[in-house]
């Protein structure tokens, strides 16, 4: 039976924190247990003493230790068993199996001027901290912020940074939601990165995983049987318990975490992982509460919340007052899939649901997503709802992201599967569309660095992950007979480290120049920046299409040719000029001559021409 709104009150504060600057207070939720103790450690992980905690209401245990503060390390012992880390820990300096550490939120912030991002004008740059630089830390990425600012990026999205097992992971195996990964630089490193980003005018989003928790280092079950439920199931097993007995504490785990990222770390919002797998039959739905808490935690700053969700469900971005969840935006992968089918020929798995035809790409551009209730061959049932009336900025589009690169067996970048000309054409469409564009790190110079799937689990779990990864791709015809890289091999991780030396290389400088020009145009061209502007898209025969952006009587056309030859006549009554030509030598192309002659646009092979019309 679903819980009512009245029973969904926020649980008391849990974890350990400094109180009045002179003592540390603990509160632990351990219903059904008789005894909880805090076991204190020194810096060398040697036990110093044990502090019994006192039973409190609702299955909690609490206690205070005077004369202690930030840096105190501890574990929790339940009913005399082995001590484990605190699942509400704010820091895990020795990893997810080591002692927890008490931290404070003081930083000496310099971003008091920062007002937060405009959700209607985001250009998102997705980063995996561990492979973005050779050092793989928050602070090592700070010098790269100037590159992003000059490129035209205004939002940095960090793949999950909550503590995960080992030193190498995508982050989706996190188990300590409140503790920034120690090998990345921990709490202090993350605060320094966000503070520096704001000084560059760049917002920071945290990728948060609330649909499941990782298996290694997950000690939630040692404290309470109510963190998970058999009532619902997900691809990762039993679902997190958001609507059953004891769920108000579990919901508090998430809602307190949401508030922490924004309040204590000054993050500008969240990207929610796989929201379709976040199961909650009660009211209000957890997603709506996440959005409410996130916006409120900004304390006057603008905060945004996006979700990855495969359902194409308009309710996600519909305001709460109209019966929705109120998210600011949603990842919409249909355009990515259509373009990969068109330019790279992908056709297995979910790609079988897409034709990549000019007509279907144009439909996707008109709607934001393609599936609006049609039956999916891959899923075997109908998928999607109408997007009519939804503003384009609610849809996050990409031509690469960590999933679409890293979930290929060899971590192939898009550049491995499409021609340089096709890459430039796809990039032009992405960055000049009315939708919110997202880049995956290195995309702006057409990086050739792979992004592989890597882990650093214990030997037994690691063996299972390796076997599962190779089995996953055994049924794909193009990968048969090839050995998928071992996720546990350190080389798999190091091969994924971004090579920033490529940026000015002869094969990359042109693409980098194209991205800078496109993002400059996106930010300054009146037709593209006008909030009252409209857009439309249509096929120009079987192998080409045009995206039209219109405002104040002017029109910008993004004409994309998939293959073959195109001759397209523009309206004779309008004056026309080329704004961007993807095959210009300055962008790495080989065609010096303009594709526009009079009112005719002539295109050959994969390419894109951006034309401005004036009536």
| Beta bridge partner(s), residue 566 | 603
How many CB atoms are closer than 10 A to CB 82?
10
Take residue 69 and report the two structure tokens written for it.
Answer: 């503060």
Take residue 149 and report the two structure tokens written for it.
Answer: 């600012």
User: Residue 402, annotated ligand binder?
Assistant: yes
User: Cis link prior to 489 (omega < 30° from 0)?
Assistant: no
How many CB atoms are closer than 10 A to CB 464?
11
Q: How far apart are CA 612 and CA 396, in angstroms?
A: 25
How many CB atoms are closer than 10 A to CB 608?
27
User: Residue 406, annotated ligand binder?
Assistant: yes
| Beta bridge partner(s), residue 558 | 547, 610
Looking up tokens 């609610």, which residue turns up? 394
Take residue 394 and report the two structure tokens written for it.
Answer: 């609610």
Of residues 224, 247, 290, the one with CA closest to residue 7: 247
- Active site (annotated) includes residue 486: no
3-state secondary structure 172-215: CCCCEEEEECHHHCHHHHHHHHHHHHHHCCCEEEEEECCCCCCC
- Active site (annotated) includes residue 111: no
The answer to whether the CB of 396 falls within 8 A of the CB of 331 is yes
The answer to whether the CB of 201 falls within 8 A of the CB of 154 is yes
From 157, 216, 273, 502, active-site residue: 273
* Residue 445 DSSP code: G
User: Residue 457, annotated ligand binder?
Assistant: no
User: Residue 20, annotated ligand binder?
Assistant: no
Take residue 360 and report the two structure tokens written for it.
Answer: 């279907």
User: Residue 431, annotated ligand binder?
Assistant: no
Contacts of 468 by beta carbon, 8 Å cutoff, 6+ apart: none
How many CB atoms are closer than 10 A to CB 324?
18
From 37, 126, 157, 308, active-site residue: 308
Gap between the terminal Cα atoms of the chain: 62
Contacts of 532 by beta carbon, 8 Å cutoff, 6+ apart: 551
User: Residue 198, annotated ligand binder?
Assistant: no
User: Residue 58, annotated ligand binder?
Assistant: no
3-state secondary structure 515-527: HHHHHHHHHHCHH
User: Residue 456, annotated ligand binder?
Assistant: no
User: Residue 271, annotated ligand binder?
Assistant: yes
How many CB atoms are closer than 10 A to CB 542?
12
User: Residue 333, annotated ligand binder?
Assistant: yes
User: Residue 275, annotated ligand binder?
Assistant: yes
How many CB atoms are closer than 10 A to CB 581?
25
CA triple 248-256-84, angle to 5 deg: 85
The answer to whether the CB of 62 falls within 8 A of the CB of 28 is yes
User: Residue 336, annotated ligand binder?
Assistant: yes
User: Residue 128, annotated ligand binder?
Assistant: no
Take residue 189 and report the two structure tokens written for it.
Answer: 């490193």
CA triple 297-303-307, angle to 5 deg: 110
User: Residue 273, annotated ligand binder?
Assistant: yes
Q: How far apart are CA 285 and CA 408, in angstroms?
A: 33
| Beta bridge partner(s), residue 29 | 60
Residues annotated within the binding site are 271-276, 333-337, 402-407
Residue positions annotated with a catalytic role = 273, 308
Residues annotated within the binding site for substrate are 271-276, 333-337, 402-407
């Amino acid at each position: 039976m679903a819980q009512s709104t009245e029973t969904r009150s926020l649980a008391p504060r849990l974890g350990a924190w400094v109180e009045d600057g002179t003592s540390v207070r603990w509160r632990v939720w351990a219903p059904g247990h008789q005894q909880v103790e805090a076991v204190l450690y020194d810096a060398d992980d040697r036990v110093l003493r044990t502090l019994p905690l006192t039973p409190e209401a609702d299955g909690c245990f609490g206690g205070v230790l005077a004369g202690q503060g930030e840096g105190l390390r501890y574990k929790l012992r339940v009913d005399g068993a082995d001590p484990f880390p605190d699942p509400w820990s704010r820091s895990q300096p020795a990893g997810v199996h080591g002692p927890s550490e008490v931290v404070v939120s003081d930083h000496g912030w310099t971003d008091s001027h920062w007002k937060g991002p405009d959700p209607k004008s985001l250009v998102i740059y997705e980063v995996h901290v561990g492979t973005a630089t050779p050092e793989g830390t928050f602070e090592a990425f700070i010098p790269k912020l100037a590159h992003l600012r000059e490129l035209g990026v205004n939002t940095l999205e960090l793949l999950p940074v909550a503590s995960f097992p080992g030193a190498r992971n995508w982050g989706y195996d996190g188990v300590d939601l409140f503790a920034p990964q120690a090998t990345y630089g921990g709490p202090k490193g993350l605060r320094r990165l966000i503070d520096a980003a704001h000084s560059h005018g760049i917002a920071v989003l945290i990728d948060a995983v609330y649909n499941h928790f990782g298996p290694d280092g997950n000690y939630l079950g040692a404290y309470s049987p109510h963190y998970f439920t058999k009532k619902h199931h997900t691809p990762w097993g039993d679902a997190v318990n958001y609507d059953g007995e004891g769920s108000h504490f579990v919901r508090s785990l998430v809602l307190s975490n949401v508030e922490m990222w924004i309040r204590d770390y000054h993050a500008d919002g969240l990207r929610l992982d796989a929201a379709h797998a976040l199961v909650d039959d009660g009211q209000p739905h957890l997603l709506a509460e996440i959005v409410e808490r996130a916006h409120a935690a900004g304390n006057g700053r603008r905060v945004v919340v996006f979700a990855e969700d495969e359902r194409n469900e308009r309710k996600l971005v519909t305001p709460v007052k109209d019966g929705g969840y109120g998210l600011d935006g949603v990842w919409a992968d249909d355009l990515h899939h259509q373009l990969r089918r068109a330019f790279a020929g992908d056709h297995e798995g979910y790609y079988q649901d897409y034709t990549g035809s000019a007509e279907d790409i144009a439909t996707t551009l008109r709607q934001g997503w393609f599936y609006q209730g049609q039956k999916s061959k891959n899923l075997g049932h109908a998928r999607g709802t109408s997007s009519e009336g939804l503003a384009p900025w609610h849809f996050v589009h990409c031509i690469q992201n960590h999933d679409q690169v890293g979930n290929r067996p060899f971590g192939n970048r898009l550049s491995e599967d499409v021609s340089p000309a096709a890459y430039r054409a796809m990039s032009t469409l992405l960055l000049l569309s009315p939708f919110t564009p997202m880049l995956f790190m290195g995309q702006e110079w057409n990086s050739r660095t792979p992004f592989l799937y890597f882990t650093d689990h214990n030997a037994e779990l690691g063996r299972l992950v390796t076997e599962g990864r190779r089995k996953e791709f055994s049924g794909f015809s193009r990968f048969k007979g090839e050995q998928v890289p071992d996720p546990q091999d350190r080389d798999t991780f190091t091969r994924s480290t971004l090579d920033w030396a490529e940026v000015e290389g002869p094969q990359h400088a042109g693409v980098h120049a194209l991205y800078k020009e496109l993002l400059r145009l996106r930010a300054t061209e009146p037709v593209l920046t006008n909030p009252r502007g409209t857009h439309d898209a249509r096929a120009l025969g079987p192998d080409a299409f045009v995206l039209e952006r219109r405002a104040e009587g002017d029109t910008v056309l993004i004409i994309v040719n998939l293959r073959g030859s195109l001759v397209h006549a523009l309206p004779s009554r309008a004056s026309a000029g080329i704004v961007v030509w993807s095959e210009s030598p300055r962008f790495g192309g080989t065609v010096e001559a303009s594709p526009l002659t009079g009112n005719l646009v002539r295109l050959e092979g994969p390419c894109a021409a951006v034309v401005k019309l004036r009536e």
